[in-house]
Structure 1
Amino acid sequence: MTKSARADMITVLAMQWNHRKVENLHKTLSMRFVKTTQKAQTEVDNLESLKQELNISLEDTEQWVLEVKQWAATDSNQTRHRKRRRLTELKKKLRERILQYNTIDTCTETIDTEAACSLSEDVILPWEAQGDMVNLRTKRRLFDQVMLVRRMEEEKVIIVKEMTQHCQNLRQALEKLDHLLHQTKDDIRNQSMFHKY
Protein backbone atom coordinates (compact mmCIF):
# COMPACT_ATOMS: atom_id res chain seq x y z
CA MET A 1 0.00 0.00 0.00
CA THR A 2 1.40 3.37 -0.95
CA LYS A 3 1.74 6.26 1.42
CA SER A 4 -1.01 8.27 -0.28
CA ALA A 5 -3.39 5.27 -0.35
CA ARG A 6 -2.75 4.69 3.36
CA ALA A 7 -3.43 8.37 4.10
CA ASP A 8 -6.65 8.22 2.07
CA MET A 9 -7.77 5.07 3.86
CA ILE A 10 -7.07 6.63 7.28
CA THR A 11 -9.01 9.74 6.23
CA VAL A 12 -12.00 7.65 5.11
CA LEU A 13 -11.94 5.61 8.33
CA ALA A 14 -11.74 8.79 10.43
CA MET A 15 -14.67 10.29 8.55
CA GLN A 16 -16.73 7.13 9.11
CA TRP A 17 -15.83 7.10 12.79
CA ASN A 18 -16.84 10.78 13.12
CA HIS A 19 -20.11 10.06 11.30
CA ARG A 20 -20.93 7.15 13.64
CA LYS A 21 -19.97 9.29 16.63
CA VAL A 22 -22.35 12.08 15.58
CA GLU A 23 -25.14 9.58 14.88
CA ASN A 24 -24.81 8.05 18.37
CA LEU A 25 -23.90 11.18 20.30
CA HIS A 26 -27.41 11.69 21.69
CA LYS A 27 -27.42 8.16 23.14
CA THR A 28 -23.91 8.52 24.55
CA LEU A 29 -24.66 11.87 26.18
CA SER A 30 -27.93 10.69 27.69
CA MET A 31 -26.29 7.54 29.11
CA ARG A 32 -23.45 9.64 30.55
CA PHE A 33 -25.96 12.01 32.12
CA VAL A 34 -27.93 9.17 33.75
CA LYS A 35 -24.77 7.49 35.07
CA THR A 36 -23.35 10.76 36.36
CA THR A 37 -26.62 11.69 38.05
CA GLN A 38 -26.78 8.31 39.78
CA LYS A 39 -23.12 8.51 40.82
CA ALA A 40 -23.61 12.08 42.09
CA GLN A 41 -26.56 10.97 44.24
CA THR A 42 -24.52 8.07 45.62
CA GLU A 43 -21.66 10.42 46.54
CA VAL A 44 -24.07 12.91 48.15
CA ASP A 45 -25.46 10.04 50.24
CA ASN A 46 -21.90 9.00 51.15
CA LEU A 47 -21.12 12.56 52.20
CA GLU A 48 -24.23 12.74 54.37
CA SER A 49 -23.40 9.43 56.07
CA LEU A 50 -19.81 10.62 56.64
CA LYS A 51 -21.09 13.85 58.19
CA GLN A 52 -23.37 11.81 60.46
CA GLU A 53 -20.52 9.45 61.34
CA LEU A 54 -18.31 12.41 62.26
CA ASN A 55 -21.29 14.19 63.85
CA ILE A 56 -20.59 17.53 62.17
CA SER A 57 -22.77 20.31 60.85
CA LEU A 58 -22.72 22.11 57.51
CA GLU A 59 -20.73 24.96 59.08
CA ASP A 60 -18.14 22.50 60.42
CA THR A 61 -17.92 20.88 57.00
CA GLU A 62 -17.23 24.22 55.33
CA GLN A 63 -14.65 25.08 58.00
CA TRP A 64 -12.83 21.76 57.56
CA VAL A 65 -12.79 22.16 53.78
CA LEU A 66 -11.33 25.64 54.19
CA GLU A 67 -8.68 24.36 56.63
CA VAL A 68 -7.60 21.60 54.25
CA LYS A 69 -7.42 24.09 51.36
CA GLN A 70 -5.27 26.41 53.47
CA TRP A 71 -3.04 23.50 54.46
CA ALA A 72 -2.67 22.46 50.79
CA ALA A 73 -1.84 26.03 49.75
CA THR A 74 1.07 26.20 52.19
CA ASP A 75 2.39 22.76 51.21
CA SER A 76 5.37 23.04 48.84
CA ASN A 77 8.58 21.05 48.29
CA GLN A 78 10.58 23.19 50.70
CA THR A 79 7.76 23.10 53.21
CA ARG A 80 7.49 19.32 52.86
CA HIS A 81 11.23 18.93 53.41
CA ARG A 82 11.02 21.03 56.56
CA LYS A 83 7.95 19.10 57.68
CA ARG A 84 9.68 15.76 57.12
CA ARG A 85 12.65 16.88 59.18
CA ARG A 86 10.33 18.22 61.87
CA LEU A 87 8.28 15.01 61.73
CA THR A 88 11.41 12.95 62.33
CA GLU A 89 12.18 15.09 65.38
CA LEU A 90 8.60 14.77 66.61
CA LYS A 91 8.63 11.00 66.17
CA LYS A 92 11.77 10.84 68.29
CA LYS A 93 10.09 12.93 71.00
CA LEU A 94 6.92 10.86 70.67
CA ARG A 95 8.90 7.65 71.25
CA GLU A 96 10.41 9.17 74.38
CA ARG A 97 7.01 10.32 75.66
CA ILE A 98 5.40 6.96 74.95
CA LEU A 99 8.17 5.23 76.86
CA GLN A 100 7.54 7.63 79.75
CA TYR A 101 3.80 7.04 79.52
CA ASN A 102 4.24 3.27 79.47
CA THR A 103 6.30 3.42 82.67
CA ILE A 104 3.57 5.21 84.65
CA ASP A 105 1.98 2.77 87.13
CA THR A 106 -1.54 4.25 86.88
CA CYS A 107 -1.81 3.56 83.11
CA THR A 108 -4.01 0.56 82.43
CA GLU A 109 -2.87 -0.01 78.85
CA THR A 110 0.51 0.37 77.24
CA ILE A 111 1.06 1.92 73.84
CA ASP A 112 2.86 0.13 71.02
CA THR A 113 5.66 2.58 70.23
CA GLU A 114 6.24 1.45 66.64
CA ALA A 115 2.55 1.49 65.76
CA ALA A 116 2.10 4.94 67.26
CA CYS A 117 5.16 6.33 65.49
CA SER A 118 4.03 4.91 62.15
CA LEU A 119 1.30 7.59 62.24
CA SER A 120 -1.30 5.09 61.15
CA GLU A 121 -4.94 6.14 61.30
CA ASP A 122 -5.72 3.02 63.31
CA VAL A 123 -3.66 4.15 66.29
CA ILE A 124 -5.40 6.61 68.58
CA LEU A 125 -3.23 7.78 71.40
CA PRO A 126 -4.90 8.13 74.80
CA TRP A 127 -4.38 11.87 74.94
CA GLU A 128 -5.87 12.23 71.42
CA ALA A 129 -9.00 10.33 72.38
CA GLN A 130 -9.76 12.65 75.28
CA GLY A 131 -9.74 15.93 73.34
CA ASP A 132 -12.17 17.26 70.78
CA MET A 133 -9.41 18.04 68.31
CA VAL A 134 -9.91 16.48 64.87
CA ASN A 135 -6.83 15.28 63.04
CA LEU A 136 -5.97 16.40 59.52
CA ARG A 137 -6.55 12.91 58.08
CA THR A 138 -10.20 13.00 59.13
CA LYS A 139 -10.60 16.49 57.71
CA ARG A 140 -8.95 15.40 54.46
CA ARG A 141 -11.29 12.40 54.26
CA LEU A 142 -14.28 14.74 54.50
CA PHE A 143 -12.62 17.20 52.11
CA ASP A 144 -12.08 14.47 49.51
CA GLN A 145 -15.74 13.45 49.72
CA VAL A 146 -16.91 17.08 49.41
CA MET A 147 -14.65 17.58 46.38
CA LEU A 148 -15.95 14.37 44.82
CA VAL A 149 -19.54 15.60 45.17
CA ARG A 150 -18.58 18.95 43.64
CA ARG A 151 -16.81 17.24 40.72
CA MET A 152 -19.88 15.12 40.05
CA GLU A 153 -22.08 18.23 40.04
CA GLU A 154 -19.65 19.96 37.65
CA GLU A 155 -19.70 16.89 35.41
CA LYS A 156 -23.50 17.09 35.22
CA VAL A 157 -23.28 20.75 34.18
CA ILE A 158 -20.67 19.92 31.53
CA ILE A 159 -22.81 17.11 30.10
CA VAL A 160 -25.86 19.40 29.94
CA LYS A 161 -23.75 21.97 28.05
CA GLU A 162 -22.59 19.26 25.64
CA MET A 163 -26.19 18.13 25.13
CA THR A 164 -27.28 21.72 24.47
CA GLN A 165 -24.46 22.21 21.99
CA HIS A 166 -25.34 18.96 20.23
CA CYS A 167 -29.00 20.08 19.95
CA GLN A 168 -27.91 23.43 18.52
CA ASN A 169 -25.70 21.67 15.96
CA LEU A 170 -28.59 19.42 14.95
CA ARG A 171 -30.91 22.44 14.60
CA GLN A 172 -28.33 24.22 12.42
CA ALA A 173 -28.00 21.12 10.24
CA LEU A 174 -31.80 20.93 9.98
CA GLU A 175 -31.99 24.60 8.99
CA LYS A 176 -29.33 24.05 6.31
CA LEU A 177 -31.25 21.04 4.97
CA ASP A 178 -34.50 23.01 5.03
CA HIS A 179 -32.81 25.87 3.14
CA LEU A 180 -31.38 23.44 0.57
CA LEU A 181 -34.80 21.82 0.16
CA HIS A 182 -36.48 25.17 -0.53
CA GLN A 183 -33.66 26.16 -2.86
CA THR A 184 -33.97 22.85 -4.75
CA LYS A 185 -37.76 23.29 -5.03
CA ASP A 186 -37.25 26.80 -6.38
CA ASP A 187 -34.65 25.53 -8.87
CA ILE A 188 -36.99 22.76 -10.04
CA ARG A 189 -39.88 25.22 -10.39
CA ASN A 190 -37.67 27.67 -12.31
CA GLN A 191 -36.36 24.86 -14.55
CA SER A 192 -39.89 23.65 -15.34
CA MET A 193 -41.04 27.23 -16.07
CA PHE A 194 -38.01 27.75 -18.34
CA HIS A 195 -38.76 24.59 -20.33
CA LYS A 196 -42.41 25.58 -20.85
CA TYR A 197 -41.40 28.68 -22.77
Structure 2
Amino acid sequence: MESMKTELDVTESQMEDWVSDVKDWADATTINTTDVAGLASRVEVLVASIKRRSQRLYKDCDSNKGRARIRRKIRDERGFLSSVVEKYNRMVPTTETLCFENILSGETAWPWQLPHSDSVDLRTMRRAFDLVMAGKRIQEEKMILQREMNQHWRSGESC
Protein backbone atom coordinates (compact mmCIF):
# COMPACT_ATOMS: atom_id res chain seq x y z
CA MET A 1 0.00 0.00 0.00
CA GLU A 2 2.88 2.33 0.76
CA SER A 3 4.34 1.74 -2.69
CA MET A 4 0.98 2.56 -4.27
CA LYS A 5 0.77 5.79 -2.26
CA THR A 6 4.20 6.86 -3.46
CA GLU A 7 3.49 5.70 -7.01
CA LEU A 8 0.28 7.75 -7.17
CA ASP A 9 1.60 10.53 -4.92
CA VAL A 10 -1.44 10.50 -2.63
CA THR A 11 -1.94 10.99 1.08
CA GLU A 12 -3.53 8.69 3.63
CA SER A 13 -6.70 10.81 3.65
CA GLN A 14 -7.01 10.58 -0.14
CA MET A 15 -6.72 6.79 0.09
CA GLU A 16 -9.46 6.77 2.74
CA ASP A 17 -11.61 8.94 0.47
CA TRP A 18 -11.10 6.46 -2.36
CA VAL A 19 -12.08 3.58 -0.08
CA SER A 20 -15.29 5.36 0.89
CA ASP A 21 -15.96 6.18 -2.79
CA VAL A 22 -15.64 2.50 -3.72
CA LYS A 23 -17.93 1.53 -0.84
CA ASP A 24 -20.45 4.12 -2.04
CA TRP A 25 -20.14 2.75 -5.58
CA ALA A 26 -20.80 -0.77 -4.30
CA ASP A 27 -23.86 0.45 -2.42
CA ALA A 28 -25.11 2.25 -5.53
CA THR A 29 -25.00 -0.95 -7.58
CA THR A 30 -27.71 -2.49 -5.46
CA ILE A 31 -29.91 0.57 -4.90
CA ASN A 32 -31.47 1.91 -8.07
CA THR A 33 -31.42 1.12 -11.77
CA THR A 34 -33.71 3.92 -12.94
CA ASP A 35 -30.97 6.53 -13.40
CA VAL A 36 -28.03 6.43 -15.79
CA ALA A 37 -25.39 6.19 -13.05
CA GLY A 38 -27.20 3.25 -11.44
CA LEU A 39 -27.48 1.48 -14.77
CA ALA A 40 -23.80 2.12 -15.53
CA SER A 41 -22.80 0.63 -12.19
CA ARG A 42 -25.05 -2.35 -12.74
CA VAL A 43 -23.54 -2.97 -16.20
CA GLU A 44 -20.03 -2.97 -14.71
CA VAL A 45 -20.98 -5.39 -11.95
CA LEU A 46 -22.72 -7.78 -14.35
CA VAL A 47 -19.85 -7.75 -16.85
CA ALA A 48 -17.34 -8.46 -14.06
CA SER A 49 -19.50 -11.26 -12.69
CA ILE A 50 -19.97 -12.91 -16.09
CA LYS A 51 -16.26 -12.70 -16.87
CA ARG A 52 -15.30 -14.09 -13.46
CA ARG A 53 -17.74 -16.99 -13.73
CA SER A 54 -16.58 -17.77 -17.28
CA GLN A 55 -12.91 -17.75 -16.32
CA ARG A 56 -13.46 -19.94 -13.26
CA LEU A 57 -15.88 -22.37 -14.92
CA TYR A 58 -13.46 -25.29 -15.17
CA LYS A 59 -11.34 -24.37 -12.15
CA ASP A 60 -14.14 -24.30 -9.59
CA CYS A 61 -16.18 -27.23 -10.77
CA ASP A 62 -15.11 -30.70 -11.82
CA SER A 63 -18.51 -32.14 -12.71
CA ASN A 64 -20.78 -31.58 -15.69
CA LYS A 65 -23.71 -30.96 -13.36
CA GLY A 66 -21.84 -28.17 -11.57
CA ARG A 67 -20.65 -26.59 -14.81
CA ALA A 68 -24.22 -26.71 -16.17
CA ARG A 69 -25.41 -24.81 -13.10
CA ILE A 70 -22.71 -22.17 -13.57
CA ARG A 71 -23.49 -21.91 -17.30
CA ARG A 72 -27.16 -21.35 -16.43
CA LYS A 73 -26.17 -18.54 -14.07
CA ILE A 74 -24.02 -17.01 -16.81
CA ARG A 75 -26.93 -17.24 -19.28
CA ASP A 76 -29.27 -15.61 -16.77
CA GLU A 77 -26.79 -12.81 -16.08
CA ARG A 78 -26.22 -12.28 -19.81
CA GLY A 79 -29.97 -11.94 -20.33
CA PHE A 80 -30.26 -9.48 -17.48
CA LEU A 81 -27.19 -7.60 -18.77
CA SER A 82 -28.79 -7.37 -22.21
CA SER A 83 -31.90 -5.74 -20.75
CA VAL A 84 -29.83 -3.34 -18.62
CA VAL A 85 -27.72 -2.35 -21.66
CA GLU A 86 -30.88 -1.72 -23.70
CA LYS A 87 -32.31 0.42 -20.93
CA TYR A 88 -29.02 2.31 -20.57
CA ASN A 89 -28.81 2.91 -24.34
CA ARG A 90 -32.34 4.39 -24.34
CA MET A 91 -31.33 6.90 -21.65
CA VAL A 92 -28.02 8.20 -23.08
CA PRO A 93 -27.02 10.01 -26.28
CA THR A 94 -25.95 7.85 -29.21
CA THR A 95 -22.29 8.77 -28.67
CA GLU A 96 -22.34 6.98 -25.30
CA THR A 97 -24.28 3.83 -26.23
CA LEU A 98 -22.91 0.40 -25.49
CA CYS A 99 -22.65 -2.52 -27.88
CA PHE A 100 -23.64 -5.72 -26.05
CA GLU A 101 -21.33 -7.92 -28.12
CA ASN A 102 -18.29 -5.72 -27.41
CA ILE A 103 -18.63 -5.25 -23.67
CA LEU A 104 -17.92 -8.91 -22.90
CA SER A 105 -15.11 -9.28 -25.41
CA GLY A 106 -12.30 -7.66 -23.42
CA GLU A 107 -11.25 -4.58 -21.53
CA THR A 108 -14.00 -2.09 -22.18
CA ALA A 109 -13.52 1.64 -22.00
CA TRP A 110 -16.78 2.65 -20.41
CA PRO A 111 -18.24 5.91 -21.74
CA TRP A 112 -18.98 7.07 -18.19
CA GLN A 113 -15.31 6.75 -17.24
CA LEU A 114 -13.95 9.40 -19.53
CA PRO A 115 -10.56 10.58 -18.30
CA HIS A 116 -10.58 13.81 -16.34
CA SER A 117 -7.42 15.60 -15.37
CA ASP A 118 -8.62 16.39 -11.85
CA SER A 119 -10.15 13.04 -10.94
CA VAL A 120 -8.86 9.54 -10.40
CA ASP A 121 -10.27 6.69 -12.45
CA LEU A 122 -12.38 4.04 -10.79
CA ARG A 123 -9.84 1.29 -11.41
CA THR A 124 -7.22 3.15 -9.34
CA MET A 125 -9.71 3.72 -6.54
CA ARG A 126 -10.65 0.04 -6.57
CA ARG A 127 -6.98 -0.93 -6.40
CA ALA A 128 -6.53 1.39 -3.43
CA PHE A 129 -9.65 -0.05 -1.80
CA ASP A 130 -8.39 -3.60 -2.29
CA LEU A 131 -5.05 -2.71 -0.72
CA VAL A 132 -6.65 -1.01 2.27
CA MET A 133 -9.00 -3.95 2.82
CA ALA A 134 -6.09 -6.40 2.48
CA GLY A 135 -4.20 -4.44 5.12
CA LYS A 136 -7.19 -4.59 7.45
CA ARG A 137 -7.55 -8.33 6.88
CA ILE A 138 -3.86 -8.83 7.66
CA GLN A 139 -4.26 -6.91 10.92
CA GLU A 140 -7.29 -9.03 11.85
CA GLU A 141 -5.41 -12.23 11.05
CA LYS A 142 -2.45 -11.03 13.11
CA MET A 143 -4.69 -10.37 16.13
CA ILE A 144 -6.35 -13.79 15.77
CA LEU A 145 -2.98 -15.52 15.47
CA GLN A 146 -1.62 -13.70 18.53
CA ARG A 147 -4.71 -14.65 20.53
CA GLU A 148 -4.42 -18.30 19.47
CA MET A 149 -0.70 -18.44 20.24
CA ASN A 150 -1.29 -16.86 23.64
CA GLN A 151 -3.99 -19.44 24.35
CA HIS A 152 -1.69 -22.23 23.19
CA TRP A 153 1.13 -21.08 25.49
CA ARG A 154 -1.25 -20.83 28.44
CA SER A 155 -2.61 -24.31 27.85
CA GLY A 156 0.96 -25.66 27.60
CA GLU A 157 1.92 -24.13 30.97
CA SER A 158 -0.85 -25.95 32.81
CA CYS A 159 0.30 -29.41 31.68
Please give the TM-score of this superposition, normalised by the length of structure 1: 0.43
Residue 151 of structure 1: which of 125, 129, 137 is its match? 137
* C-alpha distance 151-133 of structure 1, shift in aligned 2 (>3 A): same
- Aligned equivalents of 1:61 and 1:86: distance in 2? 31
* C-alpha distance 52-89 of structure 1, shift in aligned 2 (>3 A): farther
Report which of the two structures shows the higher radius of gyration computed on alpha carbons.
Answer: 1
Q: How does 1:173-188 map to 2 (within 5 A)?
A: 173=159
Q: CA deviation at 1:136?
A: 2.7
Q: Which position in structure 1 is the counterpart of 2:114?
A: 128
Calculate the aligned-residue CA RMSD, in Å: 3.6
The one of the two structures with greater contact order (alpha-carbon pairs below 8 A, sep at least 6) is: 1
- Aligned equivalents of 2:121 and 2:84: distance in 1? 17
Secondary structure at 2:18 match in 1: helix
The AA in structure 1 aligned to 2:103 is S
* C-alpha distance 161-141 of structure 1, shift in aligned 2 (>3 A): same
Cα deviation per residue 1:72-123 (whole Å; 9 max; x = unaligned)? 33443x6469634665444567672269xxxxxxxxxxxxx86xx7396664
Between Structure 1 and Structure 2, which shows a larger proportion of helix residues? 1
Q: CA deviation at 1:147?
A: 0.5
- Give identity over the alignment, percent: 32
Q: CA deviation at 1:52?
A: 2.5
Cα deviation per residue 1:28-58 (whole Å; 9 max; x = unaligned)? xxxxxxxxxxxxxxxxxxx122223333211
Q: Which position in structure 2 is the counterpart of 1:195?
A: none
Alignment gaps of 5+ in structure 1? 1-46, 100-112, 174-197
